Amino acid sequence: MTPGDEVAGRYRLEELAGRGPMSEVWRAHDSTLDRTVALKILAPAADLERFQREARAIASLGHENVMRVYDYGEAAAGPFIALEWLHGGTLEDRLGHGALPPEEAAGYARGVAAGLAHLHERGMVHRDLKPANVLFDDEGRPKLADFGLARAAEGYGTLTEAGTVLGTAAYISPEQASGEPATPASDVYALGVILFRMLTGALPFNADGALALLEMHRDQPAPAVEEINPNAPPELAALTNAALQKDPAARPADGAAVLAALGLAPVVVADAEETQQTAVLPAVAREPGRVSRRGAVAVALALLLLAGLGGVLAWAVTRPPATAPAGVVSAAGSGSTQHHRTTTSHKTTAATSTHSSTTSPTTSTRARTTTTRTTTARTTTARTTTTTPTTTQGTTTAPTTTTTPTTTATTTTTAATTT
């Protein structure tokens, strides 16, 4: 394959990113979706079943710390997998200059542990965790890659039929080195080796050959982190030492346990079947006799409407005639006083000021007033006192009418006067 070649009529090869005995990886352009992808093409003599297993394993996952798969197919060039293009390099690249700062090492460990927690929660084991299989995106987020050896957590050993050990010897767990099935604790051991290297700049075991290295992982205890780097943070050193225990039961059980030790909780992503179900919230119990706010507003509006209709009906029924009869006094407005002309048995009745300077003794008759309450409007009812005219020393004093306002809750007031 050369740059410019097209695979499956869709992926145009641009640059070779890596090559191994199993496959080669190209940076390619997806002309259908107009995006850059990592196109992994299986080598002619490679294991097709393992390749297909890798595609299915990645497709079943969905986490920010796991590489995404876009497509799988077979073309003239061979079977291929279209993956998320991560061009931030690998963790192996970043470890090329020795130990990392503790904060940086802790951040990478959290990302890898989160990806493992997602994997383990779905019953899978990576079985080949190493710095070369941890890639970074544009934001510096670590992502797990290369799931060619990923299997279900139970039922599979580590040795092939020919007796070849699967996985990189420098990061293999003691149980894998002994040919026993891998478990989530096996991935935790590999993460412990990665942590050891990030904190110290070295591997816990070194040997000239792979078999000697396997025996060391299986039989020899790993050195303590603080023996090589006394300045390593105690909490990270303690976690690393625990992850490198020979007995799987003595290690953190899985990625979620490592994440908890690092001070974080795993993010649970629901399966597709779970997200299709609708959650029904329980009804909230209401206190006895308690009326909801919406109900109270509705009742108040209904009462206001009834009161308005009653007022209009009362006004229509009790509306006074156009010409008021004699003896009827009507006052309108709040706090106002009006003087009306009143006809009595005298020939002339004139309204004068209540501060008259001269008033002769008179005989007065107080009017009897009958008030009929009809509506709720504010009105004014006048109380009338009539004084008969008298003559003193040739001066005639006009009868005086004094009006004292009182306020009642009526619209029309009828006063019956008896002299």
Q: So which residues are the catalytic ones?
A: 128
Position 232: which residue type? A
What amino acid is encoded at 188 in this protein?
Answer: V
C-alpha separations of 123 from 39, 61, 154, 248 in Å: 27, 11, 8, 17
> Considering Cα of 188, then 192, then 193, then 195, what sign does the dihedral take?
positive
Helix (H, G, I), strand (E, B) or coil at 354: coil
DSSP E strands, 97-198: 124-125, 134-136, 142-144, 151-152
- Give the whole-angstrom CA distance, residue 316 versus residue 319: 6
Inter-residue contact 85 to 17 (CB < 8 Å): no
Residue 216 in 3-state DSSP? Answer: helix
Two tokens, residue 411: 């619209």
The structure tokens listed for 219 are: 């039989």
**Which residues have CB under 8 Å from 111's CB, separation 6+?**
65, 141, 142, 143
Which amino acid, one-letter code, is at 326?
A
Pure H helices in 151-264: 174-177, 184-200, 210-219, 225-228, 234-243, 255-261
DSSP per-residue codes, 255-294 = HHHHHHHTT--PPP---HHHHTSPP-PPPPPPPTTPPPHH
The H or E element containing residue 28 is: strand 23-30
Cα distance between residue 414 and residue 373, in whole Å: 10
Compute how many other C-beta atoms are within 10 angstroms of the C-beta atom of residue 216.
19
Residue length, the chain? 419
Residue with tokens 């997200």: 275
Orientation angle between helical segments 234-243 and 184-200, nearest 10 degrees: 140
Cα separation, 200 vs 196, in Å, equals 6
Cα-only R_g, the chain: 50
